[in-house]
């Protein structure tokens, strides 16, 4: 196992502080473990500027799409019990998806459709199902935006939202392309149907309690509300617009505050982006994945999840959607991306690095070659605002000996 040059590792302190000083991030924390041992932790800045509260190790943050690996693990826990196979159509669990249509090639209106197959669970897991997000370009993304179909914490029941989603056409025939989407939210509903539990009940009983993730939930725990971070954006308009950044006069405009957030009492259990938690809790989850399942899921199932499930890299499947990672040189497993070629990805790393991030600029990766788990927390939307992720990978990789 490689080690670290502590002098080079300490460069991260200055890099993080530079983001605070430039008012790019209000606050941030970084936790690095190697071989299961903590080798670096640093925090700086504020979790709430208005209240002058520091960003600390026990700060509760919105992890948004870093919820997706948790949901993917949960689904695979059920799969390895023989309760379904991954080529099963989602309509077996959510009947509203039974008779599907997709947009015809070159469609300019939502009613320009043709019949198509129903997506499978595997296609949902790999974002090749034909679903989308409201912030993606294209006809389907625009329709989802018009209907505000994003599985937000205050948007009612998961059942109803999935049925509404099923009434729309797919962006393309399942399996034809890769497009970042709400597909993992749909799988959250599949987990509920198969297990007979709410998604949070399954997460808590089967994953969080066994791993000791006591402060990771869909709603901020009552006794932790004073530690909940505010969320910010540099954008003048919609913070969830991930195209060209329209910078406002204030680079840290608060868009979700501690005492009024929908995350205080979540109605929707969004398996694609609904969890909040602490950095140490998420380290327990990544370490479970890195070390072989901690008894909650089989090590060979995890190997299967962290392999590339696409025919090539993401770029080869023609995406035009937003994603949390580079697309060239990156494959996609179940719940996260897989580094295939560091040169093509233009970011240092080892082949097999498994990673994903969240809309509020959080990020994690597991490096199986260097036995690393790395987690970065901050609260700024969108995550495409600054190149923090490739910079952080370069800093960590540059400190390895």
d(CA 173, CA 117): 7
At 164, list the tokens.
Answer: 């509404």
pLDDT at 239: 66
Least confident residue range of 2-6, 14-18, 176-180? 2-6
Q: Which carries the bigger pLDDT value, residue 323 or residue 21?
A: 21
Q: Who contacts 93 (Cβ-Cβ below 8 Å, separation ≥6)?
A: 84, 189, 190, 193, 194
Q: Are 384 and 245 in contact (CB under 8 A)?
A: yes
pLDDT at 249: 78
Angle (CA) 220-223-224 rounded to 5° is: 50
Q: Per-residue pLDDT for 247 more than 80? A: no
The helix-helix angle for 388-399 and 11-21 (nearest 10°) equals: 160
Residue 29, beta-bridge partner list: 43, 377
Strand segments (E) across 163-292 = 231-233, 253-256, 276-277
Q: Per-residue pLDDT for 391 more than 70? A: yes
pLDDT at 322: 74
Average pLDDT over residues 348-375: 97
pLDDT at 289: 98
pLDDT at 325: 75
Share of the chain above pLDDT 70, in %: 97
Average pLDDT, the chain: 95
Give me the count of residues in the chain: 401
Confidence of residue 264 (pLDDT cuts 50, 70, 90): very high
Q: Could you give the 3-state DSSP secondary structure of residue 382?
A: coil
pLDDT at 318: 85
Q: Could you give the 3-state DSSP secondary structure of residue 89?
A: strand
Q: Are 228 and 220 in contact (CB under 8 A)?
A: yes
pLDDT at 241: 62
50-53 long-range contacts, CB within 8 A, separation 24+: 50/230, 50/254, 50/257, 51/258
Encode pLDDT of 166-192 as tens digits: 999 999 999 999 999 999 999 999 999
d(CA 109, CA 104): 10
Q: Per-residue pLDDT for 90 more than 70? A: yes
Q: Are 377 and 362 in contact (CB under 8 A)?
A: yes
Q: Per-residue pLDDT for 248 more than 80? A: no
pLDDT at 321: 74
Average pLDDT over residues 50-73: 98
The helix-helix angle for 183-195 and 68-79 (nearest 10°) equals: 40
Closest Cα to residue 71, out of 264, 269, 240?
269
What is the set of domains in the chain, with CATH numbers?
A: 6-74+201-399 (3.40.710.10), 84-195 (1.20.58)
Confidence of residue 234 (pLDDT cuts 50, 70, 90): very high
Q: Per-residue pLDDT for 238 more than 90? A: no
pLDDT at 291: 98
pLDDT at 1: 61
Confidence of residue 246 (pLDDT cuts 50, 70, 90): low
pLDDT at 341: 97
Confidence of residue 237 (pLDDT cuts 50, 70, 90): confident
Separation of first and last alpha carbons in the chain: 9
Number of helices and strands in the chain (H, E): 13, 14
Query: What's the whole-model pTM score?
Result: 0.96
Average pLDDT over residues 315-344: 90
Radius of gyration of the chain (CA): 20
């Amino acid at each position: 196992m490689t080690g670290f040059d502590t002098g080079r590792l300490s460069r991260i302190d200055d890099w993080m502080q530079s983001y605070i000083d430039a008012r790019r991030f209000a606050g941030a924390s970084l936790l690095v473990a190697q071989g299961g041992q903590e080798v670096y932790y640093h925090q700086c800045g504020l979790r709430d500027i208005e209240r002058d509260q520091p960003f600390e190790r026990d700060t509760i943050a919105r992890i948004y799409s870093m919820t997706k690996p948790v949901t993917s693990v949960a689904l695979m826990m059920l799969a390895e019990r023989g309760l379904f196979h991954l080529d099963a159509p989602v309509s077996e669990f959510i009947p509203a998806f039974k008779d599907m249509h997709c947009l015809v090639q070159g469609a300019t209106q939502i009613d320009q459709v043709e019949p198509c197959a129903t997506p499978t669970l595997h296609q949902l897991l790999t974002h090749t199902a034909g679903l989308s997000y409201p912030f993606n370009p294209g006809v389907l993304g625009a329709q989802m935006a018009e209907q505000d179909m994003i599985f937000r914490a205050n948007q009612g029941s998961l059942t109803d939202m999935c049925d509404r989603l099923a009434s729309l056409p797919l962006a393309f025939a399942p399996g034809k392309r890769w497009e970042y989407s709400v597909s993992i939210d749909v799988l959250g509903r599949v987990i509920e149907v198969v297990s007979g539990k709410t998604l949070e009940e399954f997460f808590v009983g089967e994953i969080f309690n066994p791993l000791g993730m006591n402060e990771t939930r869909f709603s901020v725990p009552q006794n932790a509300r004073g530690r909940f971070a505010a969320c910010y954006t540099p954008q003048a308009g919609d913070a969830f617009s991930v195209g060209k950044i329209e910078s406002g006069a204030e680079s840290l405009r608060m868009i979700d505050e501690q005492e009024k957030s929908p995350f205080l009492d979540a109605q929707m259990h969004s398996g694609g982006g609904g969890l909040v938690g602490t950095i140490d809790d998420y380290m327990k989850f990544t370490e479970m994945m890195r070390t072989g399942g901690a008894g909650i899921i089989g090590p060979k199932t995890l190997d299967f999840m962290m392999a590339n499930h696409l025919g090539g890299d993401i770029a080869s499947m023609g995406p035009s959607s937003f994603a949390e990672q580079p697309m060239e040189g990156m494959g996609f497993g179940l719940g996260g991306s897989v580094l295939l070629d560091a040169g093509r990805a233009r970011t240092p790393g080892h082949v097999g690095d498994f990673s994903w991030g969240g809309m509020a600029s959080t990020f994690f990766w597991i490096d199986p070659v260097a036995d690393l788990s790395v987690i970065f927390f901050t609260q700024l939307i969108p995550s495409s605002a600054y190149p923090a992720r490739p910079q952080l990978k370069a800093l960590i990789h540059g400190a390895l000996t």
